[in-house]
Amino acid sequence: MTKLEVVFLGTSSATPTKNRSLPSLAIRREGQVILMDCGEGAQGSFVKFGLGLNREMLVLITHLHGDHVNGLLGLLQTMSMSQRIRTLTIVAPSELFGWLMSTMRVMHIGLTFEVSFVPVRSGVVYRGKDFRVRAARANHSIDSWSYLFEELPRPGVFDTKRAAALGIPEGKKWSNLQRGRTVVVDGVRFHPSQVLGPERPGRSIGYSGDTRPSRRLERFFNGVNLLIFESTFAGRDADRAVERKHSTASEAARLAKGAGVGRLVLTHFSARYRRTDSLVREARRIFPETVAAHDGLVLEVPAAQ
């Protein structure tokens, strides 16, 4: 089964701290990297955590506040200096593309690879071989988006005894059936449904970006395996969260509970909190399956059996 994991590159909010870099995380799956936000210094984290600079990669930017995007130019330049040749796809608010192009022109930055820009919109913004990414509007102080990574459903478990009883020879024909393909044996056509169990759901990862909680996002993240939600403030600072269009740990927990998610990860912490223990306790009183992210944390998302 394909390994699916999240690597947290930066877990602070607008101001970096001694132990926390600016917002960025990477989904790592079968040699592919899906980068969500790109705070300043992300290229160093790529090297530090062994993500690789020439892999198949998709970049998703939630909004154009500097702490979420200022690292992108440096990452692109570092990729070029490492002789990247693969096309890089970037999904982001459309204003980003003009900024990148003009800045690279002024600074005489040439790339060794092509960049494919996709303006973010509600709905599916990217389709991979066996996964897709959807976007929904967040509720922040500027145009902002949340993202949802979803694997496509997998075929059911292959019943070897049933296949043998039907007279289907082991080998290539079994392999084709497991891939969902019809096979023919001695003029008889066999369909995958005859030897496969019920379809198994794919895994899903939701990422809020910067936002106030909302019913829209609760519906958007319904049933995800892993929800990564901003928790800039503790409940005692709820007035600041409302004023600055961010969320508290307890608000993230209530949304996770309402959405019926599998696990909640808090991130994007204000530099005012030296430790996150109190934020985790606050959230766990509402949603027990809560942890706090830290730079370098790697979480695996297990497959449904």
Structural domain spans, the chain: 4-154+200-300, 160-194
Please state, in angstroms and rounded to a whole number, the distance separating the CA atoms of residues 100 and 209. Answer: 21
Asked whether 295 and 259 are in contact (CB, 8 A), the reply is no
Rg (CA), the chain: 22
Evaluate if residue 1 carries a pLDDT over 70: no
pLDDT of 200 above 90:
no
What pLDDT was estimated at residue 199?
Answer: 84
Class (C level, CATH) for 4-154+200-300: alpha beta
Residue type, 244: R
Give the Cα separation of 68 and 39 in Å (integer).
5
Is 119 in contact with 94 (CB distance < 8 Å)? yes
What tens digit of pLDDT does each residue of 238-269 get?
999 999 999 999 999 999 999 999 999 999 99
Pairing of the two strands 204-207 and 145-151: antiparallel
* Element housing 101 (H / E): helix 95-106
d(CA 26, CA 75): 13
Q: Is 143 noted as a catalytic residue in this protein? A: no
37, 67, 210, 295: which is the annotated catalytic residue? 67
Query: How many angstroms separate the CA atoms of 170 and 187, rounded?
Result: 17
- pTM of the shown model: 0.91
Q: State pLDDT tens for residues 88-146.
A: 999 999 999 999 999 999 999 999 999 999 999 999 999 998 999 999 999 999 999 99
pLDDT of residue 132: 98
